[in-house]
Every structure is written in C-alpha cells, then in structure tokens.
Structure 1
C-alpha cells in the first residue's frame, strides 16, 4: 500500500464499533481501522498525531505480545500502525459519512491525526486457498460470542450470577433501556458447550436476532446484520436466497420455504464444524476434550430443554478457537466483585506513588514483561501490590477475550480441487475451504474497571427485579424455542467438508 498515493475512491465503508470505523479496499484484501471521537467533545479531546499513533501501536503490541500467545498464533493477525495523508483521511470521512448508520453518528472519525490500523480483510480468504471453479464469492460469518462461563468465585454476593449468564441478564437491562427492541434468545454457554445440538441452537438464535453479535459477508459485502425494525422472517428468507447456491444443487425441486430451512441448517452445521475444528488433532473422532470443571456449564435462561442441559456433553476440543477464547476468559476467576478490592488497592498505591504507574505497566507497554505479570500472578493473595496488579491485568485480558469477534471465512471447493484428507471433516458434499480468525483484541483501559463494577450491579439487580418472585417469564420463553423458520437440530453426520487454511 503506497501511502503517498492514497485515493478515497479506492476505499468503501465496511463497518464500525464503539471506538473505531473500518473501511475496506475495493480491490485488495486490506482494511483500515480509524479512531472515532464523540461529536460533543471532538474538538477538545482529539489526540495529537504522536498520541494517536502510540494508541494504535499499543493495540498492535497487545495483540502481538499478549493475546497471540494466549489465543494461538494461527488465529491472530496483528496489523500495522500507519500514518495516512491528512487530505485523504478528510475526503474519506466525507465519502463514508452517508453510509454510516444513524445510531453510530454520535461520534466522528478522527481526521486530525492521520493514524490508522491496517489489517488483512478477514471477510475474504487468501488467494492461496483453493476455491471452486464456479467462482462463487467467499462467505464470512462474524460472531461476537461474549462470555462463555458462569462465575464460581466465592466473592459473589448474588447467587443468580451462578445460575444465569451475564449475557442473558444484560439482555433484559438493554431492552429496558431502549438499546434493543427485541430480546435475543442466544446464550453464550450453549455456544461454548461443545455439544453440537446446543451450539446449533445458539447459532440459530444469533441468526434470528443478530444485534451486535452476528454478521454475514458475501464477497466482502455485508448481506446480513442487525436490523431492529425489520421483519425477521423476511430477512431470513432473503438471507437463505443468498446462501442457496452454496448449499443446494441448482436443480433442487424444494419449495422456497423448504429450501430456506435446508440452507440455513447447512450454514449452521458448517459454522459448528469450523468452531470445533483444531489443527493439532484434525481427525474429528480423535479430538482431545477440555472439560469445564469450574462452576456450572448451563444457564437457567437458556431455552433448551432441561433434559438436554442435564445430559449433554459439556466439553470443547482442545485448542479449537472456542477453547482458546474460553480459557483466556477464565483468567477472570474472581469476578468483578472479587476484583474490586484489589482495584482499590492499586488505586490507593498509585495515589501515594504515581510514578509506579509506569513500572506496573498500567498503560503498557504491552510486551513480554506484561504477559509475565498476567501468566505468573500468585495463586493466593499475599497482600502485595504485585498480586493486585497481576489480577487486574488478568481481568483486563479476560475482558478482551469476552469482547472479541470470531471470523469464519468459507469458500466452496470443486470436485477436482486437491484436498489434504487429514484435514477433512466427514468427506461428503458440499465441500468448503475454511479459515478461522479472532479480531477486536484491543486492550481494555485500566480505568474502565470501576465502570464495570457499577454496570454489573445494575444488570444483576434489574434482572432480579424483573424475574422474581417467580420465573414465569422463562417458562413462557421456552415455548418460543420451537417457533422458527428453520430447525436447530443436530445430526449424527456432517453434510459438509471443511478444509482449513491460514490467512
């Protein structure tokens, strides 16, 4: 990428989150991620070029030196901090403004520093991957899985936190505050269970109510995302028509409604296979399992039948993408309630010795020394500031893993494409080549911990007020589990072949 020859017409709006906006190149598989600021204080709060570049370089260093060793090198793509021509950035901001969702326009793109993060476009497979001669554009499914376990910390004061997961409780809080108009029935514990039937239903619920947790791209273009005012069944039917060429033969005689059920079920099975696959143990029948020994592995708010929750397997193949993410999330073994006193210990220490902030790496640098503080924190509290800082850093890393996204990119393979049999999962048709990546791995600010403590209190108490003295609402929701455009059932055999390639 020649920075001195940047043309805003070569880039298009790709999406945005709370703190950054992403544009993608129209020809090359690259994206630029640019910082955003609130419109209310954009003039006063913008960073200097040096500050903005350091902020983005911190993201790169954190991904490279902290998250990659924890999550696995094969899943992580660090990116590169770049300085762009200011005129290009200003013109780009004007170009993409009309494409931005209204709900995101409370913040403006940083046009003053010219700094950005350059990354591979993970919605597309690399050119080295084999693709069908039919030249169908690759599909990419983006999932933000959220926290996949229930806390078991002795510091928890409300027992409901040991029974209902944070995501399910947070849904009620967001609904009451107008964040969403409909309740999502997705439960992260079902996705992280390793049980194919539970995982299938979790993905089904993500598709039915995507919110900010699920997107589908086709050829790099987003074809399915959150639309809070849309007719859900109509949206699902349109999605199914996009997917039909990938999962149904062209001469299929199925009706439109029947084909919609089939292709959406096929999509779910491909996603489940990708999330459970591991490069270390390619044979599906020989996978090592990671059992969730700490705490409960089921959420009382899940819509799954209670017998399935009691009797299903609760384990993940070791080193699959979900296993890596869950293991990192579980660095938070005290819960925010157990961490709060340690956070106060650190706060008091920094007030007395402000120069210690650098030595304790509260703002980085995110290097091998920071990772050592995370990995070698003592198991028991010895009253030291080092223990408190280690647990705070562990919590910040766990929060990153709880807020990351998984990108599953797939493309069809032709019958003549040579595939390594050791990488196949059930050698039946249709056949896909696949790449799995993790992104959104920014460091969580040290100062955000106090906000998390207040938010946790609000979410839990709102849920208790809403669901007690009885849980009749959960019983009513359970009846909705079977009302869907497509089935979420598991099958003994996978009707797909996945072949995995690094990006």
Structure 2
C-alpha cells in the first residue's frame, strides 16, 4: 500500500469530477485519486467506506470485471493508497471553490484511504506509440478526451411489469426514467433524447444520432476534456448556453476539439472515431459468438419530444441494425449487462430467500461468492423450496449486481492527431488500420476523411453494487412503473 507522502503535495492535486459518493482529483503526472465523501445519513443504504471496502472493490475489478472484459486491457487495476488526515484536509480546502455548488454540502471523509489510478484523459505510451515516435511521427500537442455513461443497452423482450397491450412497453429503462426525472422530479430542465439502444445498435447512423443527442443535452452522461481539463459538460451549457440551439451547442463542442481534429466538421470526425473504436475488436483471444439478435428499437423519442420538443434533427430512417461484434467494446459490455434477464421483482424475491437462509444483511458474501447450503426453487418470480440450490439462487442475485455495475459504468476515450506522416509512418499507419485487432490502451484509427489518430478507450466506474440496494431498486422501479402506466393510459385517451 502506498503512503500519503508518495502522492506529492496536496497542492498538486486539482478538482476533476465527483458523484454521489466520491470526489476525483488529478495531478500533473497523469494520475487521478478518488476520495470518499462523508455519508449524509448512515442509516441509508450507503456502502460503508473503509479500507476493507476498497479492497473488495479492487478484488471485484480483478476477478469479475477484467475476466468479463476478456483481459482486453479496457480496465486496469487501481491501487489502494493510505492517506493522512492532513493530506485530505488540504486537498479539500484547495478544491472546494471548484466544486458545483449543489455538491458542497458534503465534504471529504478525512479518515479514509483512497484509490489511485491512471488519468484516462491522456494516452498510455504503449508499443504503438513508441513505434510511431521511432519512425518520426509527430503528434498533436493537445489531447481530447470524451467520457460517456452508456446505460443499459438492451430492453427485455417481454416487459412483464407493464400492463398487457400497453403502447409504452417498447421503451427502454433509460428513456422511461428520463421522462419521470423531468416531468415529476424536475431534476433536469429537459429530457435527454439519448437512447442507449441506439448506441448499442451497431448501426453507424443510429450511433451517431445517439452521440449527437448526448452533446445536445449531456446531463451527467457526456463530458469532454482538453488536456485533462473539463471543457464541455451540462454545467458549461447551463452556465453559458441555456437558450442555445443544438447547432450552437455542437459549434461550441467544435471549438473545444478543433486543435486536435482537422477538416470542416471536427464533430463528425469525433463521432466517427468513437463509433469505430466501439465496434473494433479489442480482445487478444477469440470470444464465443453470442446468440444472434437483431438490434432493438425504442419508442421513447416520440414521448420525450411530445413532452418537450427539441431541435435534434431527424431520427435515422433505417431498419438495418445488428448487435455489435462480441469481441468489440460494446459487445463485451452488452454481454456483461445481459448476465441478468430477471425482473427486479424476481431478484428481490431471490434476495429475500438468501437473507432468510444465509443471514446476509450486507450482501458482502454475495460479492465474494460465499454461500451456504439449502434448497429453493423459483416459479413465476416466487421462491419455493425443493428444486434449485441456494448457490443457484445466489448466482442469480450476483449476476444481477454485476449487470447493474456494467449498466452504470463509463467509457473514456483519449485522442491525439497524427500530423503529416512521412512515408514510413504512412505505411505503418495503413497496416495498423487494416488490422481488425486493436489495443484498447492506444491504437491507430482513421476518421471519415482519412486523417489518422491515436485513440485509447477505458472502462471506468465499475464499483460493485451491494445487495442492500436491491429493495431500493425495487421501490424506484415500482414508482416509475406506476407513473408510467398512468401516463400511458392518458395517452390512450
């Protein structure tokens, strides 16, 4: 375990981002440090922050996340670091003025350890990088990085929780939740027109439309960095472009990335690179073919536009879509998300049986694979004794929690342009672009104009979900469904 003094001085760390439970700071050496926030109400289902909890999270990455990503290099193992109370206090003082105002009510927990990892807003110097530098390639001075929260990329074929013949049954979880967040909770000013089913479709037109929707209304699902500094986000649009059109927002994004992307439409080049990297093969070994499935469609867009029209353009007129390749970035994540096909009602029933049979109030045993003995069976979402082993039921719950992790993870792309390559570099670039196997840490991708870039992609935010959250997930689900059924009944009338 690294000690606090290995991490330089507190004044070298700068604010980068934060969520409900953590603040992320970065230093000039290309490292980021994730620090735990104070728990507002210990009685709520918030996982305990401790050195042991961090170790469990690291073990989850090593023994669950990395194998599911087929050792593709998409997810690296962070480092547990011991931090002094003085270090955390000084970091907190420095970053406080840079935090969003609505986040400042909760400070940092000064008695906890931290997690140290690479700053994925910058490229890793791997063999491809070294080869290009040796051949005399010049790279852009700036690095653009894009962070995307993918969300759940499929819709269960039968939404048993929705009333029969309900016209809203063909809407994905993200789009239904968006409508509730805007119409009822007033959490956002406008619905995000982004639909994860478009991004996971494997169809370039639908994927590009999804990326355009993310830029139009980023919320916390889309952020763009320049040399590690956040330059385009929902906060930026709220502060400076509240009444701007979609084209004006895309023009602002154009200005942020123009030092790296060349051509008349840098945003289109960015979209092309992201789509290419999402669909290319990143596994060093073969991946078993997934069952053949047609890409799904979601009808959420028309409901969002009915609630509040937005000038996003025309939805792609295409029915030609297939799921992404199994060995691609999207294919690997989608396969992990599909580990669970049970409803939350069924999962809650399974979990109740486990708690009664095994006394698992924290869910830690589920994450570590510790199960007891006994027999239960499942029928219509209910658990009945005699057929299925307790280990099988535990596997259902564990797969649900793993699936939730991959539904909530993010991708970070880092990009540098390769400038005016010489003959040797050109030959090398052509060979790399012809190679269908890509290194996630850093490889060559060409845009739609024939320009070459070094691109990396990383999967982040893969924290394990505790089983104690399952009742909360069920309550949220029931609230959404009740409201959604009422809305659909009104639309029928």
Q: After TM superposition, is the score higher than 0.5?
A: yes
**TM bucket normalised to smaller:** 0.7 to 0.9
Corresponding residue for residue 150 of structure 1: 155
- Where 1:223 maps in the other structure, the secondary structure is strand
Corresponding residue for residue 122 of structure 1: 120
Aligned partner (choices 246, 263, 272) of residue 275 of structure 2: 272
Identify if the C-alpha distance between structure 1 residues 105 and 307 changes in structure 2 by more than 3 Å, giving closer, same or farther.
Answer: closer
Coordinate RMSD, CA, aligned: 3.3
Q: d(CA) in 2 for partners of 1:288 and 1:241? A: 42
Post-superposition Cα deviations, 1:209-245, rounded to whole Å, max 9, x if no partner, equal 1001111111111111113633344443222112223
Identify if the C-alpha distance between structure 1 residues 378 and 390 changes in structure 2 by more than 3 Å, giving closer, same or farther.
Answer: farther
**Aligned pair 1:172/2:170, yes or no?**
no
Q: d(CA) in 2 for partners of 1:32 and 1:17? A: 14
Task: Map 1:126-145; keep pairs closer than 5 Å.
Answer: 126-128=124-126, 129=129, 130=132, 133=138, 135-145=140-150
**Aligned pair 1:322/2:330, yes or no?**
yes
Aligned partner (choices 340, 351, 355) of residue 347 of structure 1: 355
Q: d(CA) in 1 for partners of 2:336 and 2:67? A: 10
Post-superposition Cα deviations, 1:345-367, rounded to whole Å, max 9, x if no partner, equal 122224xxx3xx49xx9305856
Corresponding residue for residue 35 of structure 1: 36
Corresponding residue for residue 481 of structure 1: none
Identify if the C-alpha distance between structure 1 residues 125 and 247 changes in structure 2 by more than 3 Å, giving closer, same or farther.
Answer: same
Corresponding residue for residue 450 of structure 2: 429
Corresponding residue for residue 24 of structure 1: 26
The answer as to whether partners of 2:445 and 2:455 remain within 8 angstroms in 1 is no
Runs of 4+ off more than 6 Å:
304-307, 377-381
Corresponding residue for residue 296 of structure 2: 297
**Aligned pair 1:263/2:261, yes or no?**
no
**Aligned pair 1:404/2:400, yes or no?**
no
Post-superposition Cα deviations, 1:88-121, rounded to whole Å, max 9, x if no partner, equal 11100111111110122232211122x0000111
Deviation, structure 1 residue 279:
3.1
Aligned partner (choices 247, 250, 253) of residue 239 of structure 1: 253
- Where 1:245 maps in the other structure, the secondary structure is coil
Corresponding residue for residue 223 of structure 2: 215
Q: d(CA) in 2 for partners of 1:326 and 1:225? A: 26
The answer as to whether partners of 1:190 and 1:202 remain within 8 angstroms in 2 is yes
Post-superposition Cα deviations, 1:43-96, rounded to whole Å, max 9, x if no partner, equal xx996xxx6111111111111111111123221111011101221111001111
**Aligned pair 1:75/2:74, yes or no?**
yes
- Where 1:143 maps in the other structure, the secondary structure is strand
Q: d(CA) in 2 for partners of 1:124 and 1:274? A: 16
Identify if the C-alpha distance between structure 1 residues 345 and 289 changes in structure 2 by more than 3 Å, giving closer, same or farther.
Answer: closer
Q: d(CA) in 2 for partners of 1:155 and 1:217? A: 41
- Where 2:490 maps in the other structure, the secondary structure is coil
Post-superposition Cα deviations, 1:422-473, rounded to whole Å, max 9, x if no partner, equal 436668621111111101010101110010011011112222323433279x
Q: d(CA) in 2 for partners of 1:349 and 1:396? A: 19
Corresponding residue for residue 92 of structure 1: 91
Aligned partner (choices 448, 464, 470) of residue 443 of structure 1: 464
Q: d(CA) in 2 for partners of 1:364 and 1:11? A: 36
Task: Map 1:325-340; keep pairs closer than 5 Å.
Answer: 325-340=333-348
Q: d(CA) in 2 for partners of 1:243 and 1:289? A: 37
Corresponding residue for residue 187 of structure 1: 195
TM-score, length-scaled by structure 1: 0.78
Corresponding residue for residue 480 of structure 1: none
Identify if the C-alpha distance between structure 1 residues 120 and 86 changes in structure 2 by more than 3 Å, giving closer, same or farther.
Answer: same
Structure 2: stretches of 5+ with no match in the other structure: 303-312, 436-443
- Where 1:32 maps in the other structure, the secondary structure is strand
Deviation, structure 1 residue 246:
2.7
Q: d(CA) in 2 for partners of 1:305 and 1:409? A: 29
- Where 1:107 maps in the other structure, the secondary structure is coil
Q: d(CA) in 2 for partners of 1:463 and 1:67? A: 33
- Compare 452-461 and 126-135 and name the one that shifted more: 126-135
The answer as to whether partners of 2:121 and 2:144 remain within 8 angstroms in 1 is yes
Deviation, structure 1 residue 155:
4.9
**Aligned pair 1:459/2:480, yes or no?**
yes
Identify if the C-alpha distance between structure 1 residues 163 and 33 changes in structure 2 by more than 3 Å, giving closer, same or farther.
Answer: same
- Compare 423-432 and 232-241 and name the one that shifted more: 423-432
- Where 2:413 maps in the other structure, the secondary structure is strand
Matched pairs, number: 437
The answer as to whether partners of 1:76 and 1:438 remain within 8 angstroms in 2 is yes
Deviation, structure 1 residue 401:
0.5
Deviation, structure 1 residue 379:
11
The answer as to whether partners of 2:149 and 2:409 remain within 8 angstroms in 1 is yes
